Each structure stands twice: as C-alpha cells, then as structure tokens.
Structure 1
Amino acid sequence: MSGVLWALIALPLGAGSVLLVAGRRADRAAAVIAVTAMLGTAGAAVAVAFTQPSVRAPFLSGLPAELTVDGLSGLLAVTVAAVTLLVLAFSAAEFGPDQARARFFGLMLLFSGSMLVTVTAATLPVLLMGWEVMGATSWALIGYWWRDTARVRAANTAFLTTRTADLGLYLAAGAALAADPTGTLALDDLAKAADPWRSLICAGLIAAAFGKSAQLPFSFWLSRAMAGPSPVSALLHSATMVVAGAYLLLRTNPLLEASGWGTHVVAWTGALTAIALGLVALAQNDLKQLLAASSCAQIGFMVLAAGAGGITGGTLQLIAHAAAKSLLFLIAGAWLTALGTKALPGLRGAARRYRVAGVLFTVGACTLAGLPPLSLWATKDVVLAAALETSPWLYAAGLAAAVVSALYSARAVWFVWQPTRRDDHGLDSEGRGTRQVPGRVLPPLAVLALACALLSPLAFDPARAAVSRVLGGRSEPAPHLWEWMLSGALAVVAASAAWAWASGKAPRPTRAPGLGGSASPGFLGGWLRLEQAAHLLLVRPVFALARTAARFDDRVLDAAVRGAGRGAMDLARWSDQRLESGVGGSVSAVASAGRALGRLARRPQTGLLHQYLAQAVAAFTVLAVVFVLVK
C-alpha cells in the first residue's frame, strides 16, 4: 500500500502544480480537475487510514524522507481530504468564469496537499517542507485578489506573523540534531533527547504550533486572514493550516510530558485562548470576524486536550470543528455574495430569506455552541474530562470557555433569523425575496451539516473507546454523566441568555466593514489589541534597529569605505611622484650601463681576432727574448 500513500500527496500536489503552470488556459477545466484529483485523494486517504502504511525515500545524507500513517494521522488525512473535497465542490459552483479559476484551484490543491504532507510526516525535515509550503500557499490564497492592496497587506501580516513563529521549528530541528547528530529526526524520537536539548525542542515546537494555530499571543493574524475568499477561510480554519499546530501538539504529546513543563504551558494557553478569543468573538459585529475569533477559541480546546493528555478528545474536537467551521464559513460566503454584506446587523433575516442555508447555518452554529446532542457538546466533554483529571481549575476554565462558545454562537443565530423590514436588502416583512442562494452550492453544505449532526456518537462509549484504540489505546478518563449534564445545561442556559440579551441590545443594520480587521470598537472588538501590541513590542523595535543599522551603515561603514578608497588613491599618487621616479631612474641607469657594455662587447667581434692573437703572441715572444738577453 506504499503506492497509495505516495498517491495521497502526489495527487493534490501534482494537479495543483499543473493548474498553476497552465494558468488562465486551464480556467474552464480547473474545477473539474481539482474536484477529480481531490476525489482520488479522499479515496487514497480512506485506504491508508485502514492499512496504515509507511514509506521511505532517500533525501539527505543520513536523513531519509519518511511518511507514515497511524491512527491519528489516518483520521486527520481523511478529515483533510473530505473537507477539501466539499469546499472545492462549493467553490466550483461559486467562482464565476471571470475569475482566475486555475490559479485558485491550483493553490487550494497545493494548500491541501501540503497539509497532508504535514499530517503524514514522520521526520522533522519532511514536516518542515509541508509546513513551509502550507504557509506560502496560505499567503497567496489570502491575497488571491492581489490588485486590492488592503488584501495584500492582510496576507503579508498573516504570513509574517506565522513565519516568525515558524522559526521555532528550525530551533527544534537544530536542537534535535545537536542531541543526536546521527539520528533521523523522527518525531517519535524527540522525547528521548536529553536535556537541555529536549527543552529546546519542546519550546520550538510549542512556539511554532501556537503561531500556526493562532493561539495567544499570535491570534490576531487570523483576523487579517479574513481578507481572502470565503472558501479559503473555510478550508484554512477547518482542516488545514489553523489546526496544523494543534495536530502537531497532539502528535508530540510524549515530548510535552517528558519535558516536565510543556504540558502545563500548552494546557493553560489553550484554556486562556478559548476564553479570551471567545469573548472577542462575542464582541464582533462582523460574521466572518466572529467565526475567525471562534476558530481560535475552538482550537484552544484542542490545545488544552494536547496539554492535558486527552488525545482522543482533542482529535474528536478537531474533526467535529472541521465540519462545523467549514459549513459556517461557506454559508457566510454565500450570504456575502447574495446580500453584499457580512455585518451581523446587515444580515438580519438572511436565514428567513434563504431557508435551506439558514437551517444549515443553525445546525453549524448550534454545533459550535456545544448544544446537545450535536457533536461539539460531546467532544468538548471528552476534552474537559482530561482537564479535570489534570486540575479542577483547568476544568473550570474549559467549562467557562464552553459557556462563552454558546453565547457567541447564539448571538449569530439570533441576527440571521430576525425578521426584517421591506427596505432591508429588498426583503419583505418575512425576509422572503426573489433572489436565492444557488441550489448547486447546497449539496456540499448539506453533507457538512449532516456530519455535524452525526459525529456526536463518536464521543460516547463504545465508539469513544474504539477511537481511543485507533489512536494508540492510551488510558484516558471518560466523562461522567454529571459532566454531560452540566455542560449541556450550561450551554442551553447561555444560549438562551444570549438570545434574550441580543433581543434587547441589537444594533441597527449597517453595511459591511472594510477589510483589514475587525470593525467592532473597543478592546475585545479589536482582538485584544494584539496586533497593535505586536507593532509596539516587536515591529517598531525591529524597524528602529534596522534604521539604526542603516544609519550606521551610511555614516560609519560607508564613510570608512570611502575614506579607505581616498587613502588608497593618495598613496597611489605619492607612490607615482616619489617612488616611481626613483625606480624609473634606477631602471634607466641599469639600461644605460647595459647599452655601454653592449657597445664594448661588439668591439672584439670584427672578424680579425686571429690577427690580434698573432700580434699578442709576437709581442709576448719579443718580451721573452729581451728578458732572456738582459738576464
């Protein structure tokens, strides 16, 4: 079955690359190609979830590329493929022929394929590759309408924020290599590293996971991600990038436990994010911003589960949240297209006008609220049972976050079901009109709503025990009856209170706010001012340091370089004036002497050398005779 595992990642990545290379020429066939490729991917995901194969290929020296499927990655692979298939089917009906469909569907396939690589990665290098491609494609998808500078700025903010946190993965990889230079960087071996490397690995993974899953203090980037098309938001929030960090923490729970401190940091960060961002969601007057903040809050339950050791509850929460959040974002996008607004006051009566979409939205919102007997009511109690085993305070925090979930979900439902006046969007007193949400977008929405309604039994025994065995058979606490009853009762009471409160405090209808963040005023409505805090504490100091470095470069380094250049020119001129003249004179003198010697050397070369020799012999003979006679 190794070929099926390769096909699981090759189908979306290959088809997405082909669509991007083909460009506008493939616009007409892009939707069919994308849906067909993802249909094959979904089939491959189901196959590998049952067979759980592993594959290995040469990559770097001593670091092979490994993909493996176990219980956790198998369930996540099926979730990613199924949600992506339904989102693409919706997009095929939603995106018109004037849009760059090949670019959109190609990026969506690459986005989903990189998540599948992340889910099945068995080693840190492969995880890093999927992680990086997922971040890059999210930037391109958020800024899909690139001619709008506000959307591009929003994409840049989201990308740079997650990239900053992603540095933690590189820290973790470096520490893992330092701990075991001959190892393969397998995720399952990270908990075996010795301190201090194990703590560094744990810190790096936690930072990267918090950034990707928009947990405190990185939550604000998810508000900016709302600048992308609604199908992008539906996929990004439900089964891909934003849940990748929670998946990583669930996967590396043994490392968190071995560190001695990681579980506490992760659990409490998840709980605080669930409460704080739930309150942020409650303060929003923009439906997409409400859903974005609720994603941070709901993923906080998964992070809480990873810290508390509730792997089963965290996994079930992830799957149920994927169905509910993709459903809600797709319907929000359909209403935005039909009515031209995403402001909650401006959506009054939308559910009355679009009855089927309104009913499906209500199912998704009630699931998000955790109202019995829908899925997130059951899965949250499995998470809270693990929290209670860890600390009663942690359980209380999780229960408070669940109550806040019911509040913001009920508020959204109240707005879309309220009757409207005749002049609001051309609706009559009952919210009925002539325009309708296209019927071809309803089948994928109905499937997602059905999943929201049918996932609850997985949280109850014996189904929960079966899921636990699939995930490795860890012993985890099961919720008691009083826990089910308490959370269900609190959810119902909170939803009722939110409905009554909204009836008396609802603002007047307004048009949708602009892009680039929440339009709601105040501390909570402004996402806890986290983006402003990031600019104050991080961005401004970094740019101030950059400006100081630039001035140092201009005034010190550049001046030093220019001074060195001037000094070199002065030295060259001095050398030309003083040294070159002396050297030139010496060379000239040597040349003159050489010429004189040459002239002297030519004198004996007349051809009469034998006569000179004879004359010399004669002279010496005469001198010898005279010497003898005188003697």
Structure 2
Amino acid sequence: MSSLIWLLIALPLAAGAALAVTGTRLNRQAPALGVLVAATTLGLAVAAALIGPSASVPLFAGVRAGVAVDGLSAVMAITVAAVTTAVLVFSAGEFGEDENRGRFFGLMLLFAGSMLVTVTATTLPLLLMAWELMGATSWALIGYWWHDPERARAADTAFLTTRTADLGLYLAAGAAMAGGAGTLSFDTLPHTASPWLHLVTAGIVAAALGKSAQLPFSFWLSRAMQGPSPVSALLHSATMVAAGAYLLLRLHPLLAATDWAGPVVAWTGAVTALVLGVVAVAQRDLKQLLAASTASQIGFMVLAAGSGGVAGGTFQLVAHAAAKSGLFLAAGAWLTALGTKQLPALRGAARTHRLVGACFTVGALTLAGLPPLSLWWAKDDVLASARAESTGLYVVGLTAASVAAVYSVKALWYVTRPLPENPQAGYDTERPGTRRVPSASAAPLLVLAGAAAALGVLALPGPAAWLRDLLGVPGEPSPKAWELGLSAAVALTAAAMAWWRPFSPRTLLPPAVVRYAEGWLHLERAAHAIVVRPVIATARALAVFDDRVVDGAVRQAARGGLAVARRARRLDDASIDAAVESVGRGGLAVARQTRRLDDGGIDAAVSAVASGARSLGRWARRPQTGLLHQYYAQAAVGFCVLVLIVLLVR
C-alpha cells in the first residue's frame, strides 16, 4: 500500500508543477483541472486514512525519507485536501480568463502538495524539504499580483520573517545528528543526548512559532493579507499557519523530554491568543481582523501542544480550519462584489448578499465560541488541558476566549447592519466591484459553514473517545460540566456586550492600547530596528571590507605582478640586445627565435589564461543579481539536482 501514500503527495505536486509552468496556455482549463486534482487528492486522503499506509526510501547514508498516514497525520491530510478542494472551487469564479489562472491553480496545488508532505513526513530531512517548498510557494501566492510593489514587499516580509524562524529546523537537524538521533526520525528525536536535546527542541519550537505567526513573529500575517482572498483562505486557515501548531502537536513527546519547552510553548500560545485577540478587536479592515483572529486561534492550538492536550489541539485545528476558511472566502466574495473590505463600508453586506451573509454568520458565531458550535467544544477541550497544567494558563485562555467572542461579533455587527443611505460611497476603494457574487462560491461556502457548525459532534462521548484513541492519547483530560457552563456564560456575556453597546474599539480599550493594537503592536517596526537594520549595517560594513581589503589585496597583488613582469621583460630585452652584440648575427637569430617563443608562446598562454579567468568571472557574476528570490531559486534547484543525483546513484 506504499504506492497509495506516494500517489497522495505526488498527484498535487506533479499537477501543480505542470499547471504552473504552462503559463496562459491552459487558462481556460486550469480551474476544472485544479478542482479535479484537488477532489481526487481528497479521495486519496480518505482512502489513506482508512488504510494507514507508510513508506520509506534511502535519502543519505544512514538517513531515510519516511512518510506515513496514521493518527494525527490522517486527520490533517483529510483537512488539508478538503479545504484545498473548497477553496479551488471558489477560485474558479474569482479570476477572469485574462489573468494567469494556470499559474495560480498550479501554485495552489504545489502548496497543497508540500503541505501534505509536511503532515505525512516521519523524518526531519523530508520535513525540511517540504517546509522549504511550502515557504517558497506561499511567497509566490502572497505576492501573486507581483506588479504591485506593495504586494511584492508584503510577500517578501512574510517570507523573510518565516525564513528567519525556519533556521531553527536546520539547527534542530544539525543538533540531532550531533546528539546521535540516528535516522532523524520523529520517534528518535526525544532520545537525543543532552545538551543537544535542548538545541533540537529550541530549533523546532522557533520554527513552529514563526510559521504559525505566534508572538513575536505575528506581524507577518498582517502583511500576508495583501494576497488574493482564496490564498488567505487556504494558507491562513488550515495549512501554512497551522503547520507550526501541527508540528508541535506531532512532536509533543519532544517537548515533554525537556523541563522548559512545554511551559514556554503553552504560555506563548496563551499570551498570543489573548494579545492578538485584542489586536483583532481594534481592526477596521475585515481581512486584518480575520488575520489577527487566526494568530489568536492558532494560539489555542499552541497552548494545547504545550500543556499536553493533543486531542483538544487537533479538534481546535480542524474546527478552526472550517470556520476560518469560510470566513475568508466570504470576505473575498464581498471584496469582489463591492470592491472593499473595510468594515464601515460593509454595513448591510450580509443583507445585500444573503447566502454569503448566512454563511458568514455561521462562521462568525462559531469563531466566537458560542454553544453548541464546534469551537466552543474545541476551546473547552484545550482549556481542560491548560487547567490540568496551570490555573494561570486556564485563566488567560478563558480570557482570550471572551475576547474571541468580541472580535467575532464585531465583524458580524457591521455586516448585518441596515444599509446606509448611500452605500455606494464606501464601495470600490480597493478595486472595482462587480456588484455580484460568483455562482461558484455558493457550494464551498455552504459546505464550510456546515462543517464549522457540525464538527461539534467530535466532542460527544463516543466520537471524542474515538478521536483520542486515533491520536494515541486516551488519557487526556476532558472538560467538566462546570467548565462547559462557565465558558458558555463567558462567551455569551462578551458577545452580548459587544452586540448591544455602540460599537467602537475605543469604547472597549484605552486609546493607547487601540493605537498599538491597530498597528499590530508595531512588531514589524521593532523587527526592523532590532534585526533588519543591524544586519544591513553589518552587510554594508562587510561589503566595504571586501572591496577595500579583500579585493584591494587582490588588485595590489595583480599590480605588483604586472610590475614584476614589466621589469622582467625589460631585463629580457636588455639581455637579448647584449647577446646580439656579443655573439653576432648567429646569436641574433637564436635570440629572435627565443623572443618569438616568449611573445607567441608564453605571453599567449598567459593571455589565454587571463582571458579564460575573465570569462569565468563574467559567468560567475551573472547569478549575483542582488535579488533574494533568485538566490533562493538557485539554491532550491541545486538542492533538487543533488537529491536526484543521490537517488539515481543509489
């Protein structure tokens, strides 16, 4: 059955690569092909979850590339494939034929394929490869409208921020090899010898927190909202931002192997859930609100991973994926129809476009954690694990849940208001609106809204026990009746207060807090001051050193060699003339022949070597464009060639 799991990950990767390189030649067929591949991948994911296949192939000496669908990876594979299918169905009506739909659908499938490799990988080297491909395709998707400089800069910010955190995976791989982790499989990582174990854990935690937009990396998610709405629905609900939380849930035994990792991860998740919830309350842009709420909701998953609640974190991940992808698609539908995503301009949008409004309402109420919808149950599962770990964690998590009710109801409050007297005045601020919602958006919105509401059945005693057994954590704590009642009361109270009060962040938060929250705590500015500027200053200093010292030494050496050569030639000329005068005409003929050999042979050889070196220098300078993405692409191509050589040689 190993062929099934290889087909599961190879189909979207191969189809995505083919669509991405065909350009505009398959624009008309790209949506249908993309949806067909995604739906087939979903069927393969379901079959793999039922069968549980695994496979392993040699990669390097003593290191294998392993994949498996078992427990958590089975749940994640189905979730990723299902959300990808829904988003691509929606995207079929989102892009006109004049746009490069082949490239878009190809990149989306490539991203989904890399995410499937990420969730099925059982060894660190294969995870690294998938992690890199996921980062590269996310950069291309966020900056899909690359001709807009602001969008291109946003993609660069998201890419560089997550890449900085991703260096932790390389640290973890190196430390694991040094610590005797053997094949670098996930099962062997917790048995790494100390002190390498702490470096492995620190690297994994840093990479996961960065990818999942947890503090202090959260600001990249704000910038990522410059991408198309379907990209946000896929990357920032069930896949890219969830990858870090998934990794922490998957490697919970590694966190438990140290005394510090679990508490650090749990408190980071709890604080992010609370603080980014406040950031969401302060937003006036719908996609920015949803982005901040994503970081906040992922915080609950990270809290679960740190406190040992693998089942609760998985439940939260799946329920959030359904609710948030539907909300992002609804926001995208309104952006297409009305040309804006500003909340004040969206007053009455749910009344104008009723189907989108109904689905958005279900998603927002689910996100608010109101009973009996799925995220109410999921948060209580997470909070039960947090309470078993620390009362402080439970209190912070419960407070974050109340803030979630506030920002969810805020979004709902705006879109359900009666239409203003002149709604057209607020439209078309970001792009011309079509004043209609594509018909293709109805089915995915209904499916995702239904899933967001119905996934609460996983909290019932039978399904809950089945999920814990599937994940191999049958003894995890479950919420008690009073915990369910308390969280319901907190969520309902917070939602009621947010609904009935005249809504403005300044009525809920101090002005100073609002200013910082609106700017995502100015974390990007802090990153520039603390990291970017010192790195650039160091790079400039090194460039000056390179020009003046390294290159200067080479130039001086060349000048010295040239001077010596000229002196030698003068001596050579003088010697030949002296020989001519002493030996006469016969000696002169020999000297002339020697001189011809010197000029035509030795000098020609030297000139040929110099010309060849000059040509090699020109070729070596061509890849040095100064463009980061080209360096990254060159490294990726070189790495792929290396892997192919290794595999073919074996």
**Interval containing the TM-score (normalised by the shorter chain):** 0.7 to 0.9
Shift of residue 66 of structure 1? Answer: 1.1
**Structure 1 counterpart of 2:637:** none
- 2:284 aligns to what? 285
Asked if the contact 1:411–1:502 (Cα under 8 Å) also holds between the matched residues in 2, the reply is: no
The CA deviation string for residues 397-443 of structure 1, in whole angstroms up to 9 with x for no partner, is 1111111101100111000011122311289xxxxx99542333111
Q: How does 1:570-585 map to 2 (within 5 A)?
A: 570-577=563-570, 581=574
1:85 corresponding residue in structure 2: 85
User: Equivalences for 1:214-613 in 2 at 5 Å?
Assistant: 214-425=213-424, 435-503=435-503, 522-577=515-570, 581=574
Equivalents in 2 of 1:579, 1:52: separation in Å? 82
> CA RMSD, aligned part only?
2.3
TM-score under structure 1 length normalisation: 0.88
Q: 1:52-131 to 2 correspondence within 5 Å?
A: 52-131=52-131
Q: Write the letter of the residue equivalent to 1:534.
A: A
SS in 2 for 1:57: strand
Contact 1:144 1:228 in 2 (8 A): yes
Preserved contact between residue 166 and residue 211 of structure 1 (Cα < 8 Å): yes
In the alignment, residue 152 of structure 1 is paired with which amino acid? A
How far is the alpha carbon of 1:24 from its aligned partner?
0.8
Q: Tell me the residue number matched to 1:178.
A: 178
**Partners of 1:521 and 1:498 in 2: CA distance:** 16
| 1:46-57 alignment, distance < 5 Å | 46-57=46-57
CA distance in 1, matches of 2:568, 2:514: 73
Amino acid at match of 1:94: E
Structure 2 unaligned residues grouped into runs of 5+: 427-432, 508-512, 589-650
Unaligned runs of 5+ in 1: 428-432, 508-519, 596-631
Residues of 2 paired with 1:584 and 1:474: CA distance? 100
Cα distance 1:94–1:592, how it changes in 2: closer, same or farther (>3 A)?
closer
Spell out, residue by residue over 1:438-477, the C-alpha distance to the aligned partner (whole angstroms, 9 max, x if none). Answer: 3331111001011011111212322211100000134111
- Name the stretch that deviates more: 122-131 or 569-578: 569-578
Contact map agreement 1:378 1:460 (CA 8 A) in 2? no
- 1:112-161 deviation per Cα after TM superposition (whole angstroms, max 9, x unaligned): 01000000001011111111111111111111111111111111111111
Q: CA deviation at 1:581?
A: 4.2
Report the equivalent of 1:39: 39
Deviation readout 1:1-24 (Å, 9 max, x if unpaired):
222111111111111111112221
AA partner of residue 294 (structure 2): S
> Deviation at 1:61?
2.5
Matches of 1:583 and 1:185, distance apart in 2:
71
Change (3 A) 1:96 1:592: closer
3-state SS of the aligned residue for 1:239? coil
Alignment-derived partner of residue 516 in structure 1 = none
Structure 1 residues 192, 583: closer, same or farther in 2, change over 3 A? Answer: farther
CA drift at 1:590: 9.1
Structure 1, 473-482 or 248-257: larger mean CA deviation: 473-482
Q: Is the 8 A contact 1:313 1:383 kept in 2?
A: yes
Q: Secondary structure at the match of 2:395?
A: helix
Which secondary structure does the structure 1 equivalent of 2:187 belong to?
A: helix
- Structure 1 match to 2:30: 30
Secondary structure of 1:66 counterpart: strand
Q: 1:576 to 1:137 in 2, by over 3 A?
A: same
Once residues 449 and 579 of structure 2 are traced to their aligned partners in structure 1, the CA distance between those partners, rounded to angstroms, is: 100
Q: Hey, what's the Cα distance between the residues in 1 that align with 2:134 and 2:272?
A: 23
Is the CA contact 2:330–2:360 (under 8 Å) kept in the aligned structure 1? yes
Separation in 1, partners of 2:327, 2:170: 35
Q: Secondary structure at the match of 2:29?
A: helix
Match of 1:607 in 2: none
CA distance in 2, matches of 1:61, 1:189: 17
Pair 1:193-2:181 in alignment: no
Q: Give the match for residue 210 of structure 1.
A: 209
Matched AA of 2:564? L
Structure 1 position 322, deviation (Å): 0.2
Q: In structure 1, how many angstroms separate the alpha carbons of the residues matched to 2:169 and 2:435?
A: 49
For the 8 Å contact 1:414–1:502, the answer to whether it is kept is: no
Cα distance in 1 for partners of 2:399, 2:310 equals: 21
Show the counterpart of 1:513. Answer: none
| DSSP-derived class of the 2:295 partner | helix
| Separation of aligned partners in 1, 2:400 and 2:420 | 35
Query: Compared with structure 1, are the counterparts of its residues 591 and 184 closer, same or farther at alpha carbon in structure 2 (3 Å cutoff)?
Result: farther
Shift of 1:260: 1.6
Instruction: For residue 67 of structure 1, give the secondary structure of its aligned residue in structure 2.
Output: strand
Q: Does structure 1 residue 11 correspond to structure 2 residue 11?
A: yes
The match for 1:622 is none
Mapped partners of 1:72, 1:450: distance in 2: 23
Paired residue type of 1:528: L
Which amino acid in structure 2 is aligned with residue 293 of structure 1? A
Contact (CA 8 Å) 1:142, 1:228: kept in 2 or not? yes
User: How far apart in 2 are the matches of 1:521 and 1:391?
Assistant: 30
Q: Is the 2:316–2:375 Cα contact (8 Å) retained in structure 1? A: yes
- Between the two proteins, the alignment pairs up a number of residues equal to 577
> For 1:140 and 1:434, how far apart are their aligned partners in 2?
26
Letter in 2 for 1:208: A
Distance in 1 (alpha carbons) for counterparts of 2:34 and 2:435: 29
CA distance in 2, matches of 1:99, 1:576: 66
User: Could you tell me whether the CA contact under 8 Å between 2:347 and 2:420 is conserved in 1?
Assistant: no
Residues 521/560 of structure 1: CA separation in 2 closer, same or farther (3 Å cut): farther
Residues 185, 586 of structure 1: CA spacing in aligned structure 2 closer, same or farther, 3 A cutoff?
farther
